[in-house]
Amino acid sequence: MFGAAKALRDAGVLGLNERNANYIMRLNERRFYPRVDDKVLTKKISLAAGMAVPELYGVIDHQGDVRKFPEIVENLESFVVKPAAGSGGDGILVVTGRSTRKRDSFRLASGLLISTDEILHHLSNIVGGQYSLSGNPDKALIEYCVRFDPVFAEVSYQGVPDVRVIVYRGYPVMSMVRLPTRASDGKANLHQGAVGTGVDMGHGKTLIGVLGNEVVDEHPDTGALIAGLQIPGWEQILESSARAHEVTELGYLGVDIVIDRDLGPLILEMNARPGLNIQIANNTGLRSRLKRIDEIYNPADDPATRARIAQREFAV
Amino acid sequence: MSQRYVYILAAILAIVGILLFAYKWLALGFPLTANRETPVWTIETSVTFDAGPGSIKVDLHIPTLTPGFRTLNQNSVSRGFGFNLDYSSGGRVARWAIRRANGTQTVYYRISVYEDSGSRQEDTTPPFPPPPSIEEPFRTAVEVIVEDVRAQSADTASFVSALIRTLRDPSPGPNVELLLSEVGSDKDFVQTLTTLLAAARIPARVIRGLELEGRQRSADLISWLEIHDGDSWRYFNPVTGEENLPRRFFIWWRGSETLVDVQGATNVQTRFAVQENYLDTVTIAETQAAQAGGGLVDFSLYSLPIQTQAVYSVLLMIPIGALVMVLMRNFVGIDAFGTFMPVLIALAFRETRLFWGVIMFLLLVSLGLSIRFLLERLRLLLVPRLTAVLIVVVMLMLLISLVSHTFGVDTGLSVALFPMVIIAMTIERMSVVWEERGAADAVRAGVGSVIIAVVAYVAMGIAWLEHLIFTFPELLLAVLALVILAGRYTGYRLLELTRFKALTGS
C-alpha cells in the first residue's frame, strides 16, 4: 500500500486531498467562485475581457419567466438550455432543430423530439434548483448551440466535444479533449462515459484516449482513430485559457472550450474544481507540472507569454 | 505557515483534552471501564436510652480522621432532637439535644465510607507528652519497665513492640503483674500502654474502630494503639506488638473518652451496624471531587437528569461516527450522499440493530426511488416533488411497520426511528444522480453511504468507547484535533491508488 502511494508520488500524480488542500483552497478564493459557478456571470466577465463565448439568447431566472421561453426561441432553430450553476454537464439540453410537422416540438442532438411542455418542465426544474450544486434556486441559460468543427466529427457520437485546459497561476499546464459517446448520452463528461484524450501541449495534437480507466485507440461508437488529431486554433486556445486566470482571479482553474467551425474557440464554462481524470488521459501526473510552474513563475508574464511557456515546457 | 498553526492548534487541543482526561482518571478516580463498582460501607450507630424527666443531651464521638477511607456522606436520624456537629479534644462529636422526652428514645448517626488507599492521616505533630503523674508503687514499676524495654530496643517502633511483648509475656515479671492487676478490658490495656509510653515521652493514644466486613448487625469496637514517631502516626497491634492495622479498620474515634456521653437519661446502649453495598465508581469519584471543590465536576454529564444523560450518551458518539466518515471519505475515498447522512443513518441503525437496519434502509430507499420515478412523469416542481417523496416515505414506513407487525416481526416497528427527511433527501439526490449520471454512479454512492453508515455504526457501538466519551467528554477535544489534522492530509486516498495505477507504469 505504501509502496503504491510512493510510486504515484514518484510519477507526480496529484490526489484529491492534495488538490483540495494545497491548490484549490490556497489559490482559489471563495469570493471568486461565483465567477465560475454562475455561468451567466462567467459569460459577462469573459465578454468584458474581450474573450469569445457562445452568444446568450436569454436568461430565465424565476418560475414566472419560464413561459417567456417560446418568445426567446421564436426565431431560433438551434440552441442550448443549461443551468447557470450546474456541474458536470447535468441538466443541459441541446436542441439542434425543430420538428418539421409541429413548430412547437424540438429535435434534440440525440434525434429525439421534445415538446415545448417538456422543455418548460425542464426549465422549471432548473430554476427550482434541481441541478445546482447546493440545491438553491438557479437560473436557466438559453444560448448559442455550437456547430462544432469537423475535425472531431469522426470521433464524436452526437453532442459537442470540448477541450479542457487546466490553468495554474495563469499558466496552462495540461489539457484534454473530451469526446461524447453513446454511453455518455452526447455529454462531454468522463464520469458519464465520454472518452478523454490527452493533448500534446506543444502542438495541440491528441494523444492516447481513455475510457473510464482503460486506454483506447478508437472511439467506441464510430471506430475512428483518436490519436494524432490536430486541434484547430491551439495557440488561441492556450492564450484564452491563460487569460481566464486574469478574468476569474482563480489560481487553479479548469477552462472548457468548444471549437465552432465558424467562430473558432469559444469559452463554454470554467471550473474552480477541475477533476483529476485528466492525468489518466495524459498518462502524466499533474503534480510535477504544477511544481515546474512554481519554479518558473513570473508575475510579469502576460497571457500570451504564459501560453508560449506552456507550449515550451509541456510539449511531448 | 498555516500548516504550522494547524499542528499547534491540534497539539493544544489534544494536550488539553488528554490532560483533563488524565486528571479525571488518575486524580479524581473516574473509571476507564463501565460498571466498575466500589464497595461502600454504611455504618449506623444507634444510641438507645430511657429518657429522664429533664432535658437530654447526647454526645457521640464520630469519625474525624479516617486513614484508608473516605466519607461519601453522613447524616443523623432522630425524632424531635436538635442536632449539630462539634469538635472536642477527641475529634468530632455529634450532639443531640431535647428539652423533654418520654420513654425509650433512639438517635442514629449514619456514615457511608469507601476504601481509598490515598486517604492518609494528616494530623498535626503532637507535643511530647508530659511525664504522667503516677502514684507509688506503680510509679517505680513503670520506671523499671520503661528502663528495661529501652535497653532492648533501638528506636520508637521497636520500643513500642518490645513494650507490648513485655506486657504480654505469659510469665510476667512482678512489675508487669502489678501494673496489669487493675486492667480488665482491651481498652484498659491499651490505656495502660499509653501511660507507659507517656512515661517514655512517646505521644500515644488509644484508637477505637470497627473492622468493616460484609454485613454486621452488631459490630464490636476494637481497641488499637496509635503512636507518633516524630514524623507520622503509626499503628500497633496491642496483642502481638506488630506494627499494623486490621484489614479495613475504620477508626471511629481516638483518646480515652467514652464513645457516648448522655446526660439526663438512663440505660444507655450503643450499637454499631455495618452494611456493605456497591456503588458505581463514577458516583464516588464525583462525590469525592465535589468535596474537594473541583469545579470540573460541575460540568460532568452525570449531574444531568437521567433522561438527558441517555440522550447525550448517544449524541456524544456522533463525533466518533463523523470521525469514521472523515477517514472513509478522505483517506479511503468512498463516495456517499450528503456530508453527514451516513452518520445519521448509523444513528438510526442503533435503534433498529444492524441487520434489520440495513435491510429496511435498502427497502425504503428502493421503494421510494421507484415512487420517485413515477412522480417524475407528473412533472412536478422541485419543492412539491420533494414533499411528495417525503409523504410517500412516511407512508412506506407505516406500511413496513404494519406488515412486519402482522407477521410478528417487531423489529419492523423501529423503522419509524429512521430520520425520514434524510431518507427523502437521499431518494431525491439518488434519483437525480441516477438520471443524470446513470445507475452505476447512483448505486455506487448509495452503497458507499451504507458502507460508511455500517462502519460508523460499529464504531459508535463500542461500549467502552461510549463509556469513555461519556465519562470523559474532554476526549472530544482530542477527536477534534484528529479531525483538524485529517483536514490537512494531502496524501492519496486509498482508492486513488488503484484509480491512478496506470500512471505508475510509464
The C-alpha R_g of chain B, in whole angstroms, comes to: 36
Average pLDDT over residues A20-31: 89
Grid coordinates of B247 = 484489614
Using a CB-CB distance cutoff of 8 angstroms, which residues of chain A are in contact with residue B382?
Answer: 124-125, 128-130
Same domain? For A64 and A192 the reply is: no
Residue B102, C-beta contacts closer than 8 angstroms, at least 6 positions apart: B51
SS3 letters across B180-207: HCCCCCHHHHHHHHHHHHHHCCCCEEEE
Distance, in Å, from the CA atom of B216 to the CA atom of B351, rounded to the nearest integer, reads 45
- What chain A residue is nearest to B500 in terms of C-alpha separation? A280
Distance, in Å, from the CA atom of B326 to the CA atom of B459, rounded to the nearest integer, reads 13
Which pLDDT belongs to residue B452? 93
Distance, in Å, from the CA atom of A56 to the CA atom of A143, rounded to the nearest integer, reads 4
Name which of B448, B443, B415, B418 is nearest B431 in CA terms: B443
Q: Give the tens place of pLDDT for each residue, A254-291.
A: 999 999 988 999 998 899 989 888 998 898 999 999 99
| A15 → closest Cβ in B382, B437, B496 | B496
Of residues A189 and A7, more confidently modeled: A7
Which pLDDT belongs to residue B34? 66
Same domain? For A157 and A103 the reply is: no
Q: What angle do CA B274, B280, B281 make, to 5 degrees?
A: 95
Last residue of a domain, one of A143, A164, A198: A143
Is A16 in contact with B487 (Cβ distance < 8 A)?
A: no
- What chain B residue is nearest to A14 in terms of C-alpha separation? B492
Average pLDDT over residues A135-164: 85
Q: Give the tens place of pLDDT for each residue, B151-182.
A: 888 888 888 888 888 888 887 778 788 778 77
Distance, in Å, from the CA atom of B360 to the CA atom of B366, rounded to the nearest integer, reads 10
Same domain? For A154 and A245 the reply is: yes
Furthest CA-CA distance within chain A: 64
Residue A114, classed as helix, strand or coil, is strand
Mutating which of B339, B385, B443, B499 best tests the A interface, going by the most A Cβ atoms within 10 A? Answer: B499
Last residue of a domain, one of A116, A143, A170: A143
Which pLDDT belongs to residue A160? 78
Cβ of A284: how many Cβ atoms within 10 Å?
22
Residues 124-143 of A with CB under 8 A from B: 124-125, 128-131
Average pLDDT over residues A179-187: 79
In order of A153, A192, A306, A315, B20, the CA distances from A173 in angstroms are 26, 24, 10, 10, 50
Residue B78, C-beta contacts closer than 8 angstroms, at least 6 positions apart: B96, B106, B107, B108
Q: What angle do CA B368, B369, B372 make, to 5 degrees?
A: 85
Residue B151: its H or E element: helix B138-152
Is B493 in contact with A191 (Cβ distance < 8 A)?
A: no
Contact A170, A143 (CB under 8 A): no
The structural architecture, per CATH, of the domain B38-124+206-221+247-291 is Sandwich (2.60)
Confidence of residue B294 (pLDDT cuts 50, 70, 90): low
Whether chain B has a CB inside 8 Å of the CB on A97: the answer is no
Same domain? For A118 and A135 the reply is: yes
Q: Is the pLDDT of residue B1 over 60?
A: no
What is the DSSP secondary structure assignment for residue A13, as one 8-state letter? Answer: P
Same domain? For A126 and A26 the reply is: no
Domain tally, chain A: 2
Which pLDDT belongs to residue B289? 67
Which of A103-112, A130-139, B56-65, B330-339 is the least confident region?
Answer: A130-139
Q: Identify residue A193 by its one-letter amino acid code.
A: G
Q: Give the tens place of pLDDT for each residue, B15-42.
A: 999 998 898 888 777 777 766 677 888 8
Distance, in Å, from the CA atom of B499 to the CA atom of B501, rounded to the nearest integer, reads 6
Whether chain B has a CB inside 8 Å of the CB on A7: the answer is yes
Same domain? For A60 and A46 the reply is: no
Q: Give the tens place of pLDDT for each residue, B171-214.
A: 777 878 877 877 777 778 888 888 888 888 888 888 888 888 87
Where are chain B's structural domains?
Answer: 38-124+206-221+247-291, 128-202, 318-460
Distance, in Å, from the CA atom of B106 to the CA atom of B104, rounded to the nearest integer, reads 7
| Residues in chain B, total | 506
Distance, in Å, from the CA atom of B422 to the CA atom of A147, rounded to the nearest integer, reads 43
Same domain? For A82 and A153 the reply is: no
Name which of A51, A113, A108, A95 is nearest A246 in CA terms: A51
Q: Give the tens place of pLDDT for each residue, B115-161.
A: 877 777 666 667 777 777 777 777 888 888 888 888 888 888 888 88
Residue B74 burial by CB count (10 A; 0-12/13-18/19+): exposed, middle or buried? Answer: middle
What is the DSSP secondary structure assignment for residue A134, as one 8-state letter? Answer: T
Cβ of B98: how many Cβ atoms within 10 Å?
20
Average pLDDT over residues A151-160: 81
Q: Is the pLDDT of residue B506 over 60?
A: no
Same domain? For A168 and A309 the reply is: yes
Q: Give the tens place of pLDDT for each residue, A93-145.
A: 888 888 877 777 898 877 888 898 889 989 998 888 877 766 678 899 999 98
The set of long-range contacts for A187-193, using a CB threshold of 8 Å and a minimum separation of 24, is A187/A89, A187/A92, A187/A159, A188/A89, A188/A159, A188/A160, A188/A161, A188/A162, A189/A88, A189/A89, A190/A275, A190/A277, A190/A281, A191/A88, A191/A275, A191/B437, A191/B441, A192/A88, A192/A89, A192/B436, A192/B437, A192/B438, A193/B438
Residue B246, C-beta contacts closer than 8 angstroms, at least 6 positions apart: B211, B222, B224
Residue B352 burial by CB count (10 A; 0-12/13-18/19+): exposed, middle or buried? Answer: buried
Residue B40: its H or E element: strand B37-51
Strand ranges across the sheet with B222-228: B233-236, B222-228, B204-211, B249-254
Q: Is the pLDDT of residue B407 over 80?
A: no
Average pLDDT over residues B218-226: 86
Q: Is the pLDDT of residue B384 over 90?
A: no
Residues 108-127 of A with CB under 8 A from B: 117-118, 121, 124-125
- What chain B residue is nearest to A89 in terms of C-alpha separation? B436
Residue B210, classed as helix, strand or coil, is strand
Mutating which of B421, B430, B436, B501 best tests the A interface, going by the most A Cβ atoms within 10 A? Answer: B436
Using a CB-CB distance cutoff of 8 angstroms, which residues of chain A are in contact with residue B487?
Answer: 21
Domain membership of residue A161 (yes or no) is yes
From B428's Cα to the closest Cα of chain A, the distance in A is: 9
Distance, in Å, from the CA atom of B164 to the CA atom of B180, rounded to the nearest integer, reads 12
Q: Is the pLDDT of residue B244 over 60?
A: yes
Residue B270: its H or E element: strand B265-280
Distance, in Å, from the CA atom of A2 to the CA atom of B304, rounded to the nearest integer, reads 47
Contact B393, B424 (CB under 8 A): yes
Furthest CA-CA distance within chain B: 119
Q: Identify residue B204 by its one-letter amino acid code.
A: A
Q: Give the tens place of pLDDT for each residue, A205-217.
A: 999 888 877 888 8
Of all residues in chain B, the percent with pLDDT exceeding 70 is 91
Grid coordinates of A278 = 485528466
Which of A15-19, A302-306, B405-409 is the least confident region?
Answer: B405-409
Average pLDDT over residues B329-357: 84
From B419's Cα to the closest Cα of chain A, the distance in A is: 20
Burial A5-41 (b: 16+ CB within 10 A, else e): bebbbebbbbbbbbbbbbbbeeebeeebeebbbbbbe
* Cβ pairs bridging A and B (under 8 Å): 93
Name which of A208, A213, A174, A165 is nearest A191 in CA terms: A213
Same domain? For A299 and A280 the reply is: yes
Average pLDDT over residues B336-350: 83
Grid coordinates of B54 = 429533664
What one-character-per-residue DSSP string does B251-264 give? EEEESSS-SEEEES
Helices (H), chain A: 2-10, 16-18, 25-27, 34-37, 39-48, 69-72, 116-128, 234-248, 277-282, 286-296, 303-313
Kindly report the CATH number assigned to the domain that includes residue A20.
3.30.470.20
Mean pLDDT of chain B: 82
Residue B186, C-beta contacts closer than 8 angstroms, at least 6 positions apart: B222, B223, B238
Using a CB-CB distance cutoff of 8 angstroms, which residues of chain A are in contact with residue B503?
Answer: 8, 11, 13, 279-280, 283-285
Residue B319, C-beta contacts closer than 8 angstroms, at least 6 positions apart: B469, B476, B479, B480, B483
Which pLDDT belongs to residue B305? 67
| A5 → closest Cβ in B382, B497, B506 | B497
| B383 → closest Cβ in A9, A128, A193 | A128
Is A8 in contact with B432 (Cβ distance < 8 A)?
A: no
Using a CB-CB distance cutoff of 8 angstroms, which residues of chain B are in contact with residue A4?
Answer: 497, 501, 504
Domain membership of residue A3 (yes or no) is no
Confidence of residue A200 (pLDDT cuts 50, 70, 90): very high
Highest mean pLDDT among A242-251, B155-164, B226-235: A242-251
Which pLDDT belongs to residue A266? 93
Whether chain A has a CB inside 8 Å of the CB on B492: the answer is yes
In order of A189, B242, B287, the CA distances from A197 in angstroms are 12, 93, 71
Is A8 in contact with B488 (Cβ distance < 8 A)?
A: no
Same domain? For A189 and A290 the reply is: yes
Range of the domain at A121: 56-143
Confidence of residue B308 (pLDDT cuts 50, 70, 90): confident
- What chain A residue is nearest to B383 in terms of C-alpha separation? A128
Which pLDDT belongs to residue B124? 67
Is A279 in contact with B441 (Cβ distance < 8 A)?
A: no
Which pLDDT belongs to residue B427? 83
Same domain? For A28 and A166 the reply is: yes
Q: Is the pLDDT of residue A172 over 90?
A: yes
Backbone angles phi, psi at A64, to 5 degrees: -60, -25
Residue B95, classed as helix, strand or coil, is strand
Distance, in Å, from the CA atom of A311 to the CA atom of B31, rounded to the nearest integer, reads 67
Q: Give the tens place of pLDDT for each residue, A26-60.
A: 899 888 988 988 889 999 999 998 889 999 999 99
Which pLDDT belongs to residue A88? 62
Q: Identify residue B146 by its one-letter amino acid code.
A: V
- What chain A residue is nearest to B436 in terms of C-alpha separation? A90
Last residue of a domain, one of A120, A143, A166: A143
Residue B306, C-beta contacts closer than 8 angstroms, at least 6 positions apart: none
Name which of B219, B215, B461, B152 is nearest B320 in CA terms: B461
Domain membership of residue A94 (yes or no) is yes
Residue A297, C-beta contacts closer than 8 angstroms, at least 6 positions apart: A169, A171
The C-alpha R_g of chain A, in whole angstroms, comes to: 19
Which pLDDT belongs to residue B413? 59
Is A63 in contact with B432 (Cβ distance < 8 A)?
A: no
Distance, in Å, from the CA atom of A269 to the CA atom of A146, rounded to the nearest integer, reads 13
Same domain? For A277 and A166 the reply is: yes
Distance, in Å, from the CA atom of B487 to the CA atom of B497, rounded to the nearest integer, reads 20
Which pLDDT belongs to residue B410? 63
Using a CB-CB distance cutoff of 8 angstroms, which residues of chain B are in contact with residue A130?
Answer: 382, 432
Which pLDDT belongs to residue B483? 93
Is A18 in contact with B491 (Cβ distance < 8 A)?
A: yes
Question: At what angle are helices B420-437 and B354-376 packed, to 10 degrees?
Answer: 60
